[in-house]
Every structure is written in C-alpha cells, then in structure tokens.
Amino acid sequence: MFGFQDPVADAISLLRPRTVVEPSLKAAGEWALSFDRFLHVRIGGLVSGTCWLIVEGHEPVFLREGDTFMLGNPPPYVLASTLDASPRPAKPVLASAEDGIVRIGPESEEDLYLCVGHIGFDDRNAALLTDLLPPLVIVRVDDPHGRRLAQLVDLLASEVGVPAAGGPLVQNHLAQILLVHMLRAHAAQTDRPTGWLGALNEDGIGTALRAVHSDVAHSWTLKELAEISNMSRSAFARAFKNHVGVPPLEYLIQWRMSLARDALGRGTQSISELAQATGYLSESAFSTAFRRVVGSSPAQFRNQVRQPVHAGTKEA
C-alpha cells in the first residue's frame, strides 16, 4: 500500500529529486555569465550584493541581497552585474571553482555572493511539478516568505565547499526544503496558481485532494468527494476542474498511474499488487487504465524502463 497523505510531499517523493549545488559565486566589478537551457528546476539566492537576472523572453529583474529566484524548465538566461556587460559561458567559469567558490574580480572587492543549485527529477513523473511552474518566480526578501528563504540560502551557502561529515546530504535536504518554500511562496503570491498546487489553498477542493492522496486505493466516487468538500456534486465537479484542470475522477486515475509508473520503474511491486494498491478490482482493469494514460501496458512499460540503453545503440 502507498503511505502518502500530503500532495506536495507525495509529488516530490515521486519525483526522486537529484540536487546539485553549484559553486557559490563571489564577484566584483563588471561581469556576466550565460547559462544554457536546463531541466527541471534551478533555485538561487543572493547572500549579499546585487545583480541582474535576464531570462530569455522576460524583462530583466534586478536582484538585491536576500532575494531568491526559481526557474522552471528555464530557457537560456544571464546573471550580470550590469545590463550592458558582455556575457561569457558560465560552465567553464564554474568548473574553475576552488573549495566550492568561484571568484570574479579582486577578492578584496567582493560585492556579490550568490548561491545557486539545480534540481533534476525522474523523467517518468517530472510533469507532475514542472507543468505547474512558471519560467520565473522571484521572492523578495521583504515578502512574507522572503526572510525564511534568505535564511535557507545562507545555510546552503555555508555548506558549499565545506568538507564536513554529511555535507552532500545536508545540501540535498536544504535544496529540497528551499523548493518547498518556493512553491509555497509562488502559491501565495499568485491570485490563481494553476493545477493541484493552487487548489490546495481552496478549502473544499484541497480537502478532497488530501483525501484522495491519503487513501489512493479507495473506490472514490464523485458523490463522496463532493460530500468531503461540503459541496454539491455539480458545484464540486465544476470547481475542481476549474482549479486543477481535469475532472476529479480523472485526477484520481492520473495520480494512481503516476504511482504505478514509479513502482514499475523501481520494481517494488508486481502488476497484480499494483492493481490492488491503486484501487482496481482486477489486473485487467488496472492494465486498461494504465494503457489509456501511459500509452503502453504495465508489462511493456516495466520492460522499457528496466532495459539498459548502451551508447551507440538505437532503441527499437
């Protein structure tokens, strides 16, 4: 059985986040670094100083000490001291780091201290989150969530390049905590955030979502979910689709299949066990639903994700 309860925790757990905290940047004078397109999420914050964040397709944003930013499936972007500074590729600059720090300009004149990391997700379920994120989220230090985010960035920066026991584990957990707080900040600062992330803030719809996640094997009906939400069936169905983007029972099926993709990929349950754990009375009914959502049978999907891909070979 699946022991999930909170939709945000559930989604992040299924995403199997892989965190890479990049070398911190300390810079003085005129400078600019260009970053390539990236999957899936990049989070950064200014420990001190100021700089410009220039994301392709967006107006440049001036960042100040304590500000935090998140980029969802970001297009190419630039971090720079001024808007007219000529950028150079970031990759070779970051590769020159010593003790987790990259310095640009004289050390005695450091006026910027930037901490950046990226979080990659399991491609099988990455869309659970990345489809909900805008390309750019800025949280100012004076935002209700800003001070806590700034403190987390400070903590993360203090761990970079320090050869302390458990350092990578601490960095990974801090980056994931940053991600959760950025999601909270985004949901709070957006009038109508899309998808299940925004729906969690709606009393009735959020209650139904949490109920589904707490017992995914239950044979939920529209009537039951509407009653949990203290709404009529028609009002609940309309509100749920408006907020989440799909009808309630379709969301339930999609979530069940997300759990199934993860379990099949990791080989933690047999197909018959998965059918029972996700609320289907038979393996046949489960397989039919899986094929409709995923496009292949559970057995085909399991074989595909477990098949090693060797360099120089083509997949059939």
For residue 297, give the CATH number of its domain. 1.10.10.60
Q: What is the mean pLDDT of residues 289-301?
A: 94
Q: Indicate if 12 and 75 belong to the same structural domain.
A: yes
Question: Is 11 a member of any domain?
Answer: yes
For the residues 147-159, what does the mean pLDDT come to?
89
| Per-residue DSSP letter, 98 | B
> Average pLDDT of 150-170?
82
The answer to whether residues 55 and 176 belong to one domain is yes
- Give the pLDDT confidence of 76-122 residue by residue, as tens digits: 999 999 999 999 999 999 999 988 889 998 876 668 899 988 888 88
Contact 24/115 with Cβ under 8 angstroms? Answer: yes
314 inside domain: no
Please report the pLDDT score of residue 307 as a whole number. 63
**166 or 41: which leads in pLDDT:** 41
Nearest CA among 224, 222, 230 for reference residue 251: 222
> Would 312 be classed as within a structural domain?
no
Residue 258 lies in a domain: yes
Domain stop point among 189, 218, 233: 189
Residues 152 and 11 in one domain: yes
**Where among 154, 189, 224 does a domain terminate?**
189
Residue 91 belongs to some domain of the structure: yes
Q: How many domains does the chain divide into?
A: 2
**Residue pair 4/214 in contact by the 8 Å Cβ criterion:** yes
Give the pTM: 0.74
247 plus 284 within the same structural domain: yes
pLDDT classification of 245: cutoffs 50, 70, 90 = confident
**CA dist., res. 125 & res. 199, Å (int):** 19
What percent of the chain is modeled with pLDDT above 90? Answer: 47
Share of the chain above pLDDT 70, in %: 91
Lowest model confidence (mean pLDDT) among 66-70, 177-181, 215-219, 293-297? 177-181
- Terminal CA-to-CA distance of the chain, rounded, Å? 34
Inform me whether the pLDDT recorded for 315 exceeds 80.
no
Please, which pLDDT band fits residue 284 given cuts at 50, 70 and 90? Answer: very high
184 lies in the same domain as 163: yes
| Same domain, residue pair 220 and 296 | yes
- The average confidence (pLDDT) of the chain is 86
Instruction: Tell whether the model's pLDDT for residue 1 goes beyond 70.
Output: no
Residues 235 and 213 placed together within one structural domain of the fold = yes
Q: How confident is the model at residue 310 (pLDDT cuts 50, 70, 90)?
A: very low
pLDDT tops 50 at residue 176? yes
207 and 182 together in one domain: no
Across 114-136, average pLDDT? 83
Q: Out of 164, 189, 214, pick the residue that ends a domain.
A: 189
150 and 59 in one domain?
A: yes
Residue with tokens 């044979």: 219
Q: Is 1 part of a structural domain of the chain? A: no
Closest CA to 91 of 99, 106, 80, 102: 102
Q: What pLDDT score does 193 carry? A: 52
Together in a domain, 177 and 258: no
User: No. of H helices and E strands in the chain?
Assistant: 13, 12
Answer yes or no: do 156 and 27 share one domain. yes
Together in a domain, 151 and 229 = no
Tell me: pLDDT of 41 over 80: yes
| CATH code of the domain in which 102 resides | 2.60.120.10
Is pLDDT of 49 > 80? yes
Is 250 a domain residue?
yes
What residue numbers bound the domain in which 266 lies?
198-306
